[in-house]
C-alpha cells in the first residue's frame, strides 16, 4: 500500500487495533510515517463476515477521509537513540538495577539481566573487528535501521559477548536482509518464527562454539552459543526494531526466540560441512541464518539401517499441510523448508552405508507425507490462496482426500541437513516458512 | 552515589523520506483499487468498503487486486496505472 501511496495515489489500509503499532512501524520503516490507515477493533481473520461488515461500516468515515483529505503530519514516536544513558544509584548494584529496569521498560531487554554496555566494555568488544565502529554493515528489517558495528557491539555486551563473538554477529546481521521481504514475516508474524544461527568453519573451533551435547541447551558448554544467540535477539529488538507485542506479534511466543545458536559438528559428520556444500572452502568461516517455526525430536535408538532412521525423520516431518499448494506466502518459489539437525550417530548410519546427503534428502522427501484432506483443509478456508494447479483438491470428497497422500514439501531441495549433537540416536527437525536460509562469510579476523 | 554511564543499544530510525500523495477532496468519477493480500477476512472488508464508496460517490469504478505477502511489484505497478486511489486490507 505504501508503494501505491509513493506512486502518487492516495491509499489507506484497514488495520486491526492490535496491529496499529505494526502499521505505524511499517510506514516509518518505509520512510512514510504519515501513511494513513483506518483502525478496526478486531483482527479480521477469524470473526466472520457479519462483524467485518460492521467494523468497516464504523471505520468508513476514516477510510473516506484518508482518501479525500490532507492530514497534518502525524509525528512518529521514535526511540531515543541517544548516544549515552546515565543511571545513578546508591551504589554500583543499585545503578545496575536501575539501568536494567529502564532498558526493560524501554523494550530494550529480553527479560534477563543485561550486562551494562559501558564505553569501556563496548570498546573492548569492538577490538574483535577491524571494521570502523560507525560502519553500517546492514540495514535491518523490519524497521530498516542501520546496524553499525558500534550498535552491534553495544547489544553484544548486554548479552554477555566477548570480542571474538563480534565478527559472527556482524555476519549474522549481514545475513538477515538475505531473507528479503520474508524477513518481516520472520520477525513480525503472529507465528513463532525464531532465527537460528549455525556457525561453520575455523572460527567455531577457535572460539569453542558448541556443536555437540546440549548445543542448543543451557550450561557452560554452550556459553558462547548462548551469548551470540542472545545478542542477535537483542539486535533484532534494538536495531531491527522487532519489539514483542508492538511489532513482533507472535501469538504465543517461543523460548527459541531467546537464543538459538550452535556450530555444525564438522568433526563428526560423514559429509562435507554445510557451508562447503554451498561452495565455500572448509577454511572459511560462515554464519548461516535459518528461520525456525518449531522443533520436533527425532527419537530413533532402534534402527541401524539408513531406511529405518530416515523413516523416523520422515515421520517427524509429516505434519506440514503441503503449504506449496498455496501461494499467499510465496515469492514465486517455495518458502517452506525443513532444517534437519542430524545427530552424528544418525548421520554415521547413513554415511557408512554410502548414502550421500542428497540421497538422504530425497528419501525423506519421498516418505514425509500428509493426507490431502488435512492439506486441503488448510486451503479450503480461503480458496483464492490455493495455486491453480492444486485447486482440484478443493473439489474432492473428504473420503477421496483421505486416501491421497501428498509430500509435505514440493521437492528434496526444501531440506537442509546440518550435523549437530552428542552421542545418541536423537536428532531434531525444524520447519520453516520464511524462505532462506542465508549464509554470509565471516570475513573479519580478530585483531 | 554511583554513576553508571552506558551506550544506547537502540539504532536511530530512518528519516522520513516521502510525504503522502495529494488528496482530491472527492472520489467522484475515480477508479478505486481494492487490494487484498489473500488473508482471510480482508476480502469481505474490502467488499464492504467498496459498497460504501459506491453509495457515497458518483461514477466510481472499483477494481480488485489479489496480491500475496508480499504483493508482487508487477501487480502494484499495474494497479498504480489503473486506479486513482486505493483501499487495502490484510486481515490483521
Summarised one tens digit per residue, pLDDT across range B33-80 is 999 887 888 889 999 999 999 999 999 999 999 877 667 788 888 999
User: What's the pLDDT at A21?
Assistant: 86
Mean pLDDT of chain A: 92
Question: Cα–Cα distance between A217 and A298 in angstroms, integer?
Answer: 17
- Which of B42, B80, B92 has its CB closest to that of A7? B80
Most B CBs within 10 Å: which of A67, A235, A334, as the mutation test of the B interface? A67
Distances (CA, A) of A441 to A19, A155, A215: 36, 21, 21
A16 beta partners: A40
The C-alpha cell 520503516 sits at: A29
Which pLDDT tens digit goes with each residue over A167-191? 999 999 999 999 998 999 999 999 9
Residue A403 C-alpha, separation from nearest chain B C-alpha, in angstroms: 28
- Please state whether the peptide bond connecting residue A437 to the residue before it is cis, i.e. omega within 30 degrees of 0: yes
- The A residues from 268 to 297 touching B (CB cutoff 8 Å) are none
What percentage of chain A exceeds 70 in pLDDT?
A: 94
Q: Do A154 and B7 touch (CB under 8 A)?
A: yes
Question: Cα–Cα distance between A21 and A248 in angstroms, integer?
Answer: 10
The range of the structural domain enclosing residue A19 comes to: 2-68
Question: Cα–Cα distance between A313 and A309 in angstroms, integer?
Answer: 7
Q: Is it the case that residue A81 has pLDDT exceeding 60? A: no
A370 in a structural domain:
no
State the pLDDT confidence band at A82, using cuts at 50, 70 and 90.
low
* Pairing verdict, β A405-407 and A261-263: unpaired
User: What's the pLDDT at A296?
Assistant: 97
What's the ipTM? Answer: 0.91
User: What's the pLDDT at A447?
Assistant: 38
Question: Cα–Cα distance between B92 and B88 in angstroms, integer?
Answer: 11
Q: Is it the case that residue A333 has pLDDT exceeding 70? A: no
The domain ranges of chain B are: 31-89
Distances (CA, A) of A15 to A39, A90, A212, A432: 5, 46, 46, 26
Q: Is it the case that residue A88 has pLDDT exceeding 90? A: yes
A6 in a structural domain:
yes
Cβ atoms of A228 and A169 within 8 Å: the answer is yes
A99 and B CB contact within 8 Å: yes
Pick the residue from chain A with its C-alpha nearest to B21.
A8
Q: Is it the case that residue A77 has pLDDT exceeding 70? A: no
User: What's the pLDDT at A241?
Assistant: 95
Spatial neighbors of B50 by CB under 8 A, at least 6 apart, are B32, B34, B62, B87
- Which of A19, A28, A64 has its CB closest to that of B56? A64
User: What's the pLDDT at A378?
Assistant: 72
Distances (CA, A) of A284 to A108, A127, A173, A420: 34, 21, 18, 19
Residue B50 C-alpha, separation from nearest chain A C-alpha, in angstroms: 10
A17 and B CB contact within 8 Å: no
- Which of A10, A91, A92 has its CB closest to that of B85? A10
Residue A212 C-alpha, separation from nearest chain B C-alpha, in angstroms: 32
B66 beta partners: B36
Whole-model pTM: value is 0.90
A3 and B CB contact within 8 Å: yes
Tally of domains within chain A: 1
User: What's the pLDDT at A216?
Assistant: 98
Q: Is it the case that residue A446 has pLDDT exceeding 50? A: no
Sheet holding A296-299, edge to edge: A296-299, A426-432, A337-342, A415-419
Which of the pair, B70 or A330, is modelled with greater confidence? B70
The number of beta carbons lying within 10 Å of the beta carbon of residue A354 is 9
Task: Average the pLDDT over A237-258 and give the result.
Answer: 96
User: What's the pLDDT at B91?
Assistant: 64
Which of the pair, A447 or A381, is modelled with greater confidence? A381
Question: Cα–Cα distance between A288 and A366 in angstroms, integer?
Answer: 26
Amino acid at each position: 500500500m505504501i508503494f501505491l501511496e509513493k506512486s502518487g495515489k492516495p491509499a489507506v489500509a484497514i488495520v486491526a487495533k492490535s496491529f496499529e503499532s505494526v502499521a505505524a512501524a511499517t510506514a516509518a520503516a518505509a520512510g512514510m510515517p504519515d501513511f494513513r490507515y483506518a483502525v478496526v477493533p478486531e483482527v479480521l481473520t477469524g470473526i466472520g463476515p457479519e462483524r467485518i461488515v460492521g467494523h468497516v461500516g464504523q471505520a468508513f468515515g476514516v477510510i473516506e477521509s484518508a482518501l479525500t483529505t490532507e492530514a497534518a503530519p502525524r509525528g512518529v514516536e521514535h526511540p531515543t537513540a541517544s548516544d549515552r544513558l546515565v543511571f545513578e544509584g546508591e551504589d554500583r548494584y543499585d545503578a545496575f538495577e536501575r539501568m536494567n529496569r529502564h532498558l526493560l521498560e524501554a523494550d530494550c531487554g529480553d527479560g534477563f539481566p543485561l550486562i551494562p554496555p559501558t564505553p569501556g566494555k563496548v570498546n573492548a568488544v569492538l577490538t574483535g573487528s577491524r571494521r570502523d565502529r560507525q560502519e553500517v554493515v546492514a540495514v535491518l528489517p523490519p524497521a530498516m535501521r542501520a546496524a553499525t558495528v558500534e550498535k552491534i557491539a553495544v547489544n553484544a555486551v548486554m548479552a554477555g559477548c566477548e570480542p571474538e563473538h563480534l565478527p559472527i554477529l556482524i555476519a549474522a546481521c549481514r545475513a538477515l536482509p538475505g531473507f528479503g521481504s520474508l524477513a518481516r514475516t520472520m520477525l513480525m508474524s503472529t507465528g513463532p518464527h525464531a532465527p537460528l544461527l549455525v556457525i561453520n568453519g575455523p572460527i567455531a573451533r577457535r572460539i569453542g562454539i558448541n556443536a555437540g551435547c546440549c548445543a542448543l541447551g543451557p550450561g557452560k558448554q554452550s556459553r558462547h552459543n548462548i551469548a551470540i544467540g542472545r545478542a542477535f535477539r537483542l539486535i533484532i529488538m534494538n536495531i531491527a526494531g522487532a519489539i514483542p507485542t508492538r511489532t513482533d506479534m507472535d501469538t504465543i511466543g517461543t523460548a527459541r526466540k531467546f537464543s538459538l545458536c550452535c556450530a555444525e559438528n564438522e568433526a563428526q559428520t560423514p559429509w562435507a560441512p554445510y557451508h562447503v556444500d554451498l561452495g565455500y572452502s572448509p577454511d572459511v568461516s560462515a554464519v548461516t541464518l535459518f528461520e525456525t517455526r518449531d522443533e520436533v525430536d527425532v527419537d530413533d535408538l532402534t534402527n541401524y539401517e539408513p531406511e529405518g532412521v530416515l523413516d523416523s525423520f520422515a515421520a517427524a516431518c509429516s505434519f506440514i499441510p503441503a503449504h506449496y499448494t498455496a501461494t499467499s506466502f510465496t515469492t514465486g518459489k517455495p518458502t517452506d523448508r525443513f532444517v534437519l539437525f542430524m545427530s552424528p550417530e544418525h548421520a554415521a548410519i547413513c554415511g557408512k552405508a554410502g548414502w550421500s546427503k542428497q540421497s538422504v534428502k530425497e528419501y525423506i522427501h519421498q516418505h514425509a507425507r500428509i493426507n490431502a484432506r488435512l492439506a486441503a483443509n488448510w486451503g479450503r478456508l480461503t480458496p483464492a490462496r490455493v495455486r491453480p494447479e492444486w485447486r482440484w483438491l478443493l473439489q474432492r470428497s473428504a473420503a477421496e482426500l483421505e486416501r491421497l497422500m501428498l509430500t509435505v514439501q514440493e521437492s528434496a531441495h526444501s531440506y537442509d541437513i546440518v550435523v549437530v549433537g552428542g552421542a545418541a540416536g536423537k536428532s531434531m527437525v525444524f520447519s520453516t516458512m520464511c524462505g532462506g536460509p542465508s549464509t554470509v562469510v565471516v570475513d573479519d579476523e580478530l585483531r | 552515589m554511583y554513576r553508571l554511564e552506558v551506550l544506547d543499544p537502540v539504532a536511530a530510525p530512518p528519516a522520513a523520506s516521502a510525504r503522502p500523495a495529494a488528496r482530491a477532496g472527492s472520489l467522484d468519477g475515480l477508479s478505486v483499487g481494492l487490494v487484498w493480500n489473500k488473508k482471510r477476512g480482508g476480502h469481505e472488508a474490502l467488499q464492504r468498503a467498496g459498497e460504501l464508496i459506491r453509495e457515497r460517490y458518483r461514477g466510481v469504478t472499483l477494481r480488485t487486486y489479489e496480491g500475496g505477502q508480499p504483493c508482487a511489484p508487477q501487480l502494484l505497478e499495474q494497479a498504480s496505472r489503473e486506479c486513482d486511489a486505493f483501499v487495502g486490507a490484510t486481515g490483521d
